[in-house]
Amino acid sequence: MRRIAAVIAGGALAATLVACGPAPADGNLSQEPPAPTASAPSSAPSSQRPDATETTPTKPSTSKPTTSKPKKTAPAVLLKAGDKGEDVRDLQVRLREISWYVGTISGSYDDATVEAVRGFQAKRGLPETGKLDRTTWKRLTEMTSEPTHDQKHNVLKPGKAILKEGSTGDQVKELQARLKQIGWFAEDVTGMYGQVTVSAVKGFQEKREIPVTGEVDQRTWDRLVAMTRTPTQEELDNKPAEPKQPGALDKRCLTGRVMCVDKSTSTLSWVVDGKVVKVMDARFGCQGMETREGVFQVGWKSRNHTSTDYNTWMPYAMFFSGGQAVHYSPDFAARGYNGCSHGCVNIRDKAGITWLFDQVQVGDKVVVHW
- Asked if residue 52 has pLDDT above 50, the reply is no
Task: Identify the sign of the CA torsion 284, 286, 287, 293.
Answer: negative
N-to-C CA span, the chain? 41
Whether 273 contacts 256, CB under 8 Å: yes
Whether 137 contacts 90, CB under 8 Å: no
Whether 208 contacts 223, CB under 8 Å: yes
Average pLDDT over residues 300-327: 85
**Structural domains of the chain ordered from first start:** 77-152 (1.10.101.10), 170-236 (1.10.101.10), 251-369 (2.40.440.10)
pLDDT tens profile 53-68 = 444 455 555 555 555 5
Q: Given 253, 260, 305, 327, which residue is catalytic?
A: 327
Convert 198-227 to b/e letters by CB count within 10 Å (16 or more is b).
bebbbbbbeeeebebbbbbbebbbeebeeb
E strand or H helix at 192: none
Instruction: Verify whether residue 344 is a known catalytic residue.
Output: yes
> What is the DSSP annotation of 50-92?
GGG---PPPPPP-SPPP-PPPPP-PPPEEE-TT-BSHHHHHHH
Q: Is the pTM of this model over 0.85?
A: no
pLDDT tens profile 215-238 = 999 999 988 887 777 888 999 999
Whether 327 contacts 259, CB under 8 Å: no
pLDDT tens profile 24-48 = 333 333 333 344 444 433 433 343 4
Instruction: Verify whether residue 149 is a known catalytic residue.
Output: no
Whether 246 contacts 353, CB under 8 Å: no
Residue 66's pLDDT is 54
